[in-house]
Amino acid sequence: MPDLTDKVAVVTGATGGMGQVIAAELVRAGAHVITIARNPARADALRARIGAEAADRLDVIAGDLSRRADVLTAAKTIRDRYGEIHLLVNNAGAHFSEHRLSVDGVEMHVALDHLAAFGLTTLLDEPLRRGGARVVNVASDTLNDTRQIKLAGRPRPATVDLAGVQSLAELNSAKGFVPFEAYARAKLMTVTAGYALAPGFAADGVTVNALHPGLVATGIIDDLVPSLLRPVGPLIRRSLLTPAEGASSALRLATDPALAGVTSRYFNRDEESRTPPVSHDPAVQEKLLVLSRAHFTG
């Protein structure tokens, strides 16, 4: 990585496996890293990984990113403390095996896997622009194929139908709820919103990209393994990427000088890839922006 001395980076999900690697490597490169943790005590492992000599370059803000109030508060705290942000890595995410609502009445995949990233990106608008930042949204290629077992047949891309939708609380309803599809839909929404936000940021040198870091051995993968394959779960984990290998793709997108100015793209690991046609539909993009902004202003 290039020297990141005097650069400010916001990394969400930094108390998890891949997020820890991303945050620690950015600190080692000289950056000052800010993260938001539901339980700040969980950041102790990250502090240990970074080491005492660089502890003053880690800022942990308490907050639950599935809660609208906490996203608003965290963003205000960051704006008050830092005039410029140079990197924003929206890495926080989770898979929920049962239908759950956030305290704001939004299905949890939508709340955490989409709205958290959208909220921080838009609420930190001014410091991102002043820093000419790179925004990296960590997604999942489940958005291109929602089949959990891919033995036969064609890929089944995630869908997002916003026709007649008045609030994002209407998405991923309990009726007919399929966890894997709900997760993929939320990731598709984040990528779609990124495409929609990118042109407005471009004049100030801010880029917005997304990536699938590969199949990484994290807690999310454990949740995504179909019940049929649970008995061979340990074997599956051994075939997956390590958190460090997954983090390398996100770090490259966030820091590689060769990618300066590249925006509105989706990468499958290090290769540029495509996303479902609905993600490029201007009408869907605009409606998603309206509904997502309303969540934080309504």
Q: Which domains does the chain have, with CATH numbers?
A: 8-297 (3.40.50.720)
Q: What is the pTM of this model?
A: 0.91
Q: What pLDDT is recorded for position 242?
A: 85
Please provide residue 107's backbone torsions phi and psi, each rounded to the nearest 5 degrees.
-55, 140
Q: What pLDDT is recorded for position 172?
A: 98
Q: End-to-end CA distance of the chain: give it in Å, rounded.
A: 41
d(CA 244, CA 247): 5
d(CA 21, CA 257): 20
Contact 246, 268 (CB under 8 A): no
Q: What pLDDT is recorded for position 219?
A: 56
Q: Which tokens go with 274? A: 């495509």
**For 73, how many CA atoms within 13 A lie in the half-sphere containing its CB?**
13
d(CA 53, CA 293): 40
d(CA 162, CA 188): 13
d(CA 265, CA 195): 8
Q: Which residues of the chain have pLDDT under 50?
A: 232, 235, 237
Q: Which tokens go with 7? A: 């650069």
For the stretch 188-235, pLDDT in tens is 999 999 999 999 999 999 999 999 998 765 655 555 555 555 554 554
Contact 91, 20 (CB under 8 A): no
Q: What single DSSP character describes residue 113?
A: I
Q: What pLDDT is recorded for position 237?
A: 46
Q: Which tokens go with 287? A: 């409606």
Q: Which tokens go with 30? A: 């000289």
Three-state DSSP class for 274? Answer: coil
For residue 280, CA distances in Å to 195, 249, 265, 266 come to 7, 23, 11, 12
Q: Tell the burial category of 105 from Cβ atoms under 10 Å away from its Cβ (0-12, 13-18, 19+).
A: exposed
Q: What pLDDT is recorded for position 17?
A: 85
Rg (CA), the chain: 18
Q: What pLDDT is recorded for position 226?
A: 57
